[in-house]
Amino acid sequence: MWSGQPHPDEGHPPPLEAVPVPWKSVGPCKSHRTESPRGLAETPGGEEAQGEEGPAAVPLDVLRLRSSSMEIREKGSEFLKEELHKAQKELKLKDEECERLSRVREQLERELEELTASLFEEAHKMVRAANMKQAASEKQLKEARGKIDMLQAEVTALKTLVLTSTPASPNRELHPQLLSPTKAGPRKGHLRHKSTSSTLCPAVCPAAGHTLTPDKEGKEVDTTLFAEFQAWRESPTLDKSCPFLERVYREDVGPCLDFTMQELSALVRAAVEDNTLTIEPVASQTPPTAKVAAVECGSTNTCALSGLARACRHRIRLGDSENHYYISPSSRARITAVCNFLTYIRYIQQGLVRQEAEPMFWEITRLRKEMSLAKLGFFPQEA
């Protein structure tokens, strides 16, 4: 029974009172859209007609409103659920995207850290290598400057020695084969006698175009040899094909370096011509702090060049080879005689000898005589 006020149902909002307003339905129910406006429209104009049906019509309208409200609530709930479901799906997708982007960021950060570390390590390696190269370059530069200073000092000393050496009084430091009279013993079979023919007639050299005066020993210039020397002196060269050097090599250098051991003789000749032969006393041993692996060839009692049993006080080394060969005093004299001649020729070729043609020719002749004497077996006695 209707008691005048509707009781609210459990879980539903209180019923709405009927008000005289136009009705607009949002639900699919057509009966409510057709009946409700008509019933509400008849209320203000038919109060007398509803006087009898009023108590029964009001609950009907309330029920209709309640039913439509429930439908609206259900549809709104379904719509909200759908929207919520869509929002949850979008949120889940966004969470997955954020997680993926986070993993990408972490991976990029790790790669960036590794790349930075590798770059720093490579940079440190390059800096260390550059420092090492710089230190090595500075060391080489320092050594090169020291060598240059040493070579300049040697060149200056050599120039001084060469300029102060004359055929009449050769510089004994420039020519070590010339020993002082106090230390040198008598030469066997080679005794100089003063010549009394100091008033010899001067000889005229047609090739030179001037008069050559013999000295007190009665020397006289060979015009052919002097002409060849003059031609060579115009453009000094170490080429053995020129007439002057070809004659000297054929008559003096070749025979002087022609030893019994032909194979070693060829090596010695090549080293002498290349200026890479080293002669050192046997007594001078290498210090313990700077030992060099050397291979001793032969013994101190046998000459490696002549093959004869002789007391060898010197040994030779060819170029950068570590092989040492013991040589006798006679073999050493022959080698040093050739070395002295070639050294003087190099000085002339380098322009270090500032003399006239005649003194230079007589010095070359003296050096050739030393080679001839050494080839014949004459050598200065060692102290």
- Mean per-residue pLDDT of the chain: 75
Tokens 């005689």 sit on residue:
337
Rounded to whole angstroms, the maximal C-alpha distance in the chain is: 191
pLDDT of residue 65: 82
10 Å Cβ neighbour count for 276? Answer: 13
- Domain spans, the chain: 64-165, 223-283+296-376
- Whether the per-residue pLDDT at 367 is higher than 70: the answer is yes
d(CA 108, CA 175): 80
For residue 93, what pLDDT band results from cuts at 50, 70 and 90? very high
Q: What percent of the chain has pLDDT over 90?
A: 44
Give the pairing type, strands 295-297 and 210-212: unpaired
Task: Choose the most confident range, by mean pLDDT, from 163-172, 185-194, 262-271, 352-361.
Answer: 262-271
- Residue 67's pLDDT band, with cuts at 50, 70 and 90, is confident
Q: pLDDT band at 211, cuts 50/70/90?
A: very low
Strands across the sheet with 314-318, in order?
277-281, 314-318, 323-327, 295-297
**Which amino acid does the sequence have at 342?**
L
Does 28 have pLDDT greater than 90?
A: no
Q: Report the alpha-carbon distance of residue 378 to residue 380 in Å, rounded.
A: 7
pLDDT tens, residue by residue, 116-137: 999 999 999 999 999 999 999 9
Residue 288 confidence (pLDDT): 43
Q: What is the pLDDT of residue 382?
A: 65
Give the DSSP H/E element, type plus range, for residue 141. helix 50-163
Least confident segment among 150-164, 194-208, 278-292: 194-208
Please report where in the chains the tokens 């000295």 appear, as a residue. 215
Question: What is the pTM for the complete model shown?
Answer: 0.46
pLDDT exceeds 80 at position 109: yes
User: Predicted confidence band at 55 (pLDDT cuts at 50, 70, 90)?
Assistant: low
Report the pLDDT value the prediction gives residue 223, as an integer from 0 to 100: 92
In the numeric block, the tokens 């420039």 are attached to 174
pLDDT at 40 (0 to 100): 40
* 279 strand-pairing partners: 316
